[in-house]
Amino acid sequence: MPKFVKPILLFLFFSFQTAFIFSQDNFFIQGNGRSHGVTFKMINDLMVIPVKVNGSELNFLVDTGVNNTIMFNLSVEDSARLKNMRKIRVRGLGEGSFVNAIRSEGNLFEIGKIVNNQHMTLLIPGKEFDLAARMGVDINGIIGGDIFRDFVIDINYSSKRIKFYNPKFYDYKKCKKCETFDLSFNRGKPYIDIKVKSEGTIVDTKLLIDTGGGKTLWLFDKSSDKIQLPQNYFDDFLGRGLSGNIFGKRSKIDEIIMGSYRFTNANVAYPDSTSVATAYRFKERNGSLGAGILKRFRLLFDYSGKKFSLKKKSSYFDAPFTYNMSGIELLHGGQMLVKSKKDLSGINFGGREDSRGIVQIIYEFVYDFKPIYQIASIRKNSPAEKVGLQPNDVILEVNSKVAYKYKLEEILYLFSRREGRQIKLLIDRDGKKLLYSFRLEDPLK
């Protein structure tokens, strides 16, 4: 293990903004290929791709909202494989301050045929920052600007494919349905200028394009006198950044206007200024445009040409704008060992006849690890709080179905659909099983 040098302070907004640029730290397609496609998993509107780091197969979130690659939630073995390490301190979104991190250079990153054999990454040690708990699958890192700047990238949410093109060979074809926008950059991150209509007023905004943000739209009300908090809103937990929890207010916005596309009554959040203090360092920025909007299109990013295109509508274009109406912030809280009958289908298997002529059916059992879902927090005055649910309650059943048979995103989907829907939860609280029932309520009504 390399000897660590004196820590360096770095400032960031849930991305790492550094002045270190190495000409050899570039991604390329093996064999001078013109393009290469990768399939992604879509979880809570976010894209997760397989990435091999120094031989270890890991999962990374694709996030245009970060500049440098970030790694976390690694095993001791995978952490030890990183090269040329030294300690630093970083700061990101959230109500906290600086956190300890490790800067590692000269690593081999492979995404199918896409390779970078001199890649710099930042490692957040420990378990305090763990996206797996909120997404329900193992996430080991975030990759964004480091790879977007080396390719023209086509993102197809309908087919769940990302295609990377060598910019030297990419040929723009005529596209009558395309809407193309100019990109501007600050510290390696892409920004788009669009209009929003709030409380009857149309406002010009500069927004970070944030594929790693599951939200629809964030607006910073202190970034402009023209951005006003709507009269109808509710306080809520908005997410977790590198430096801690992010709180703010949720509401609806009259319109989001992107060229000829208009989205009405869409979700909007106004994060507390203390939670996004680092974001205010770019004074022209007014907020973020997240995956809740981006997933509705097939996207084309061209960082070198400073262009961003909406190629056509995706299969998610007409998806409703929803939010959690239960008030429950749910986490993947680990695993439990569950005994279940072994599936004997397809096996030539008969019963056993005893001396009385009675056939005895013989079952085999297996033990599997299943997910545990735990309540992290509960919104004040929400349906969940009103009936007495509490943080740290472990959910055993959802509407009479064993909780581990759901994916985390499936439970969150139930919490976000159809106002008035009844939700029944069997929970474990300090060893006691308790049953609670409530109906989903729209907090903006």
CATH of 328-341+370-439, one of 1.20.140.10, 1.10.4100.10, 2.30.42.10, 3.40.50.10490: 2.30.42.10
Residue 102 has which token pair?
């490790």
The reply to whether 8-165 and 179-313 are identical in fold is: yes
State the pLDDT at residue 176.
82
Q: Residue 440 — very low, low, confident or very high, per pLDDT cuts 50/70/90?
A: very high
Q: Say whether pLDDT at 167 is over 70.
A: yes
pTM of the predicted structure, to 2 decimals: 0.85
- Give the amino acid at 11: F
**DSSP codes, 8-66:** EE---SSS-------TT---EEGGG-SEEEEE-EEETTEEEEEEEETTEEEEEEE-TT-
Flag the least confident range among 89-98, 161-170, 396-405: 89-98
Task: Report the alpha-carbon angle 375-379-380, nearest 5.
Answer: 130
Tens of pLDDT, residues 24-82:
899 999 988 899 999 999 998 999 999 999 999 999 999 999 989 999 877 777 777 88
Tens of pLDDT, residues 279-337:
778 899 999 999 999 999 999 999 999 999 999 999 999 999 998 999 999 988 666 65
Tens of pLDDT, residues 376-423:
999 999 999 999 999 999 999 999 999 989 998 899 999 998 899 999
State the pLDDT at residue 164.
97
Decide: helix, strand or coil at residue 345. Answer: coil
Which position has the higher pLDDT, 286 or 343? 286
State the pLDDT at residue 137.
79
Q: pLDDT > 70: what percent of the chain?
A: 82
d(CA 104, CA 88): 10
Q: Residue 20 — very low, low, confident or very high, per pLDDT cuts 50/70/90?
A: very low
State the pLDDT at residue 8.
32
Q: Where are the domains of the chain?
A: 8-165, 179-313, 328-341+370-439
State the pLDDT at residue 299.
97
Which position has the higher pLDDT, 424 or 83? 424
Q: How far is CA 267 from CA 169, 235, 261, 293, 327, in A?
A: 39, 14, 16, 10, 16
Superfamily, domain 8-165: Acid Proteases (2.40.70.10)
State the pLDDT at residue 175.
84
Q: Are 80 and 96 in contact (CB under 8 A)?
A: no
Q: What is the DSSP letter of 143?
A: E
Flag the least confident range among 256-265, 288-297, 352-361: 352-361
Class of the CATH-defined domain 179-313: mainly beta
Burial of residue 76, with CB atoms counted within 10 A of its CB: 0-12 exposed, 13-18 middle, 19 or more buried = exposed
State the pLDDT at residue 264.
96
In this prediction, residues 106-128 reach a mean pLDDT of 90
State the pLDDT at residue 21.
40
Residue 74 has which token pair?
């690694």
Q: Are 87 and 1 in contact (CB under 8 A)?
A: no
Average pLDDT, the chain: 85
Q: Residue 172 — very low, low, confident or very high, per pLDDT cuts 50/70/90?
A: confident
State the pLDDT at residue 129.
65
- Tell whether the torsion through CA atoms of 26, 31, 35 and 41 is positive or negative: negative
Q: Say whether pLDDT at 369 is over 80.
A: no
State the pLDDT at residue 348.
45
Q: Say whether pLDDT at 346 is over 60.
A: no
Q: Say whether pLDDT at 95 is over 60.
A: no
